[in-house]
């Protein structure tokens, strides 16, 4: 099928979801293995353990592991606080967490400790914004003090009943978790969303939802994942790139292939810029990323940076364009929200 397909299935006994558009894999999600690291979005009552001097951070006891909290000014050892897992930890490192708790649904985000009612800026119609504001005010009428709400862009044009139900569900969940905030021991309070829920929450309505036992086979997901596990990425015009994760960083090399024209380097680099967000998303790669672009005139760097910025603006995973190194490489830093596909395939 050439439309927009969401395929829900299992991979190595773990919930997984694939987003396919026009016959091409656009996104892939999979749960951690049983007994593995917590899912992003999981909430703990943590206990402050020891401050990291010089970093303004704090190591936390989570009960089933160790957490790392940045911006921990004012906290003291032994103090309990609620924290939420923000990403996957690197092997041997503490789980990254934040004290800014969010309860996120398809249409709404409930924000304890951040009161106020906000509507996504991408929703521009005055009449629609007024409808959503009135709906949110009514739905938040029973919320406690200090609890805020954000209506996501998906709320635009959505059924009022569906939005109100989503808000009510997030508020109920927030109330149950906040009621457990005062204990003296670390405790796991809420699991993060699984791959199937994330697909429903983040990918919107597809042309086809495939969730049978053979969904992955029928839509060629296994073959698409095999291609994503290969280092080589074919690019437009015969160019190619190689994406190779190491323990320290993700290294990317761009080659022009058989094109020997003066503009070959720039063309190859622009092709990689367009393709890179999808490749990193589907491969589950994050952390430090270093790109060795094909040779091109120095004056074209600004043009390439603009293309990279435009490509990553539409990507759901937070990515910072760090800039050029003295050796002429380009560096990115990307949040570790996904499990590396190589680890899944190797497991």
pLDDT tens track, the chain, 347 positions: 679 999 999 998 899 999 999 999 999 999 998 888 899 999 999 999 999 988 889 999 998 899 999 988 889 999 999 999 999 988 788 999 999 999 999 999 999 999 999 999 999 999 999 999 999 999 998 787 899 999 999 999 999 999 999 999 999 999 999 999 888 899 999 999 999 999 999 999 999 999 989 999 999 999 999 999 999 999 998 999 999 999 899 999 999 998 889 899 999 999 999 999 999 999 999 999 999 999 999 999 999 999 999 999 999 999 999 999 999 999 999 999 999 998 776 54
Q: Which domains does the chain have, with CATH numbers?
A: 1-31+194-228 (3.30.420), 43-98 (2.40.50), 103-193 (3.30.230.10), 230-346 (3.40.630)
What is the model's pTM?
0.92
Strands in 330-334's sheet, in edge-to-edge order, are 232-234, 240-245, 250-255, 287-292, 330-334, 319-324
Give the DSSP H or E segment for 208. strand 208-210
Task: Quote the pLDDT of residue 141.
Answer: 84
Contacts of 108 (CB under 8 A, 6+ apart): 136, 149, 150, 151, 152, 155, 163, 166, 167, 170
User: What was the pLDDT predicted at 307?
Assistant: 97
- Return the H-helix or E-strand segment holding 24: strand 24-30
**Tokens representing residue 65 in the block:** 């592991």
Cα–Cα distances (Å) from 118 to 1, 151, 207, 224, in that order, read: 38, 6, 30, 39
Interatomic CA distance for residues 163 and 136, integer angstroms: 8
Q: Tell me what pLDDT residue 347 has.
A: 44
| Rounded-to-integer distance, Cα 37 and Cα 49, Å | 20
Burial class for 163, CB neighbours closer than 10 Å (0-12, 13-18, 19+): buried
Q: Which of 261, 266, 276 is nearest to 310 (CA)?
A: 276
Mutual angle of helices 160-178 and 126-139, in 10-degree steps: 40
Beta-carbon neighbour count of residue 243 at 10 Å?
Answer: 21
H/E segment holding residue 306: helix 301-313
Axis crossing angle, helix 221-228 with helix 264-283, rounded to the nearest 10: 120
């Amino acid at each position: 099928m050439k439309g927009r397909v969401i395929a829900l299935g299992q991979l190595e006994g773990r919930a997984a979801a694939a987003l396919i558009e026009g016959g091409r894999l656009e996104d892939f999600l999979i749960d951690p293995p049983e007994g593995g690291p917590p899912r992003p979005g999981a909430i703990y009552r943590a206990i402050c353990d020891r401050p990291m001097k010089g970093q303004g951070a704090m190591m936390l006891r989570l009960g089933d592991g160790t957490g790392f909290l940045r911006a921990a000014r004012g906290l003291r050892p032994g103090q309990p606080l609620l924290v939420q897992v923000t990403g996957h930890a690197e092997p041997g490192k503490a789980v990254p967490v934040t004290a800014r708790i969010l309860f996120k649904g398809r249409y709404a985000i409930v924000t304890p400790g951040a009161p106020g009612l906000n509507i996504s800026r991408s929703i521009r119609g005055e009449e629609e914004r007024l409808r959503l504001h009135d709906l949110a005010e009514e739905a938040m009428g029973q919320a406690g003090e200090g609890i805020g709400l954000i209506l996501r862009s998906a709320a635009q044009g959505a059924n009022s009943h569906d939005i109100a139900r989503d808000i009510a569900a997030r508020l109920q969940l927030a109330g149950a978790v906040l009621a457990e905030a005062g204990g003296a021991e670390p405790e796991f309070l809420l699991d993060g969303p699984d791959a199937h829920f994330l697909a429903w929450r983040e990918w919107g309505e597809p042309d086809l939802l495939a969730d049978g036992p053979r969904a992955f086979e029928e839509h060629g997901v296994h073959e698409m994942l095999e291609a994503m596990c290969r280092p080589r990425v074919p690019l437009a015009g015969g160019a190619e790139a190689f994406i190779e994760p190491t323990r320290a960083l993700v290294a990317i090399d761009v080659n022009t292939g058989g094109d020997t024209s003066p503009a070959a380097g720039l063309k190859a680099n622009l092709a990689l810029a367009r393709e890179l967000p999808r490749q990193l998303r589907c491969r589950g790669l994050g952390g430090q990323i270093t790109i060795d672009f094909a040779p091109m005139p120095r004056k074209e760097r600004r043009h390439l940076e603009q293309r990279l910025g435009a490509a990553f603006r539409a990507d759901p995973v937070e990515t910072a364009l760090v800039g050029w190194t003295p050796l002429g490489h380009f560096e990115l830093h990307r949040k570790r929200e996904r499990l590396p596909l190589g680890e899944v395939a190797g497991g």
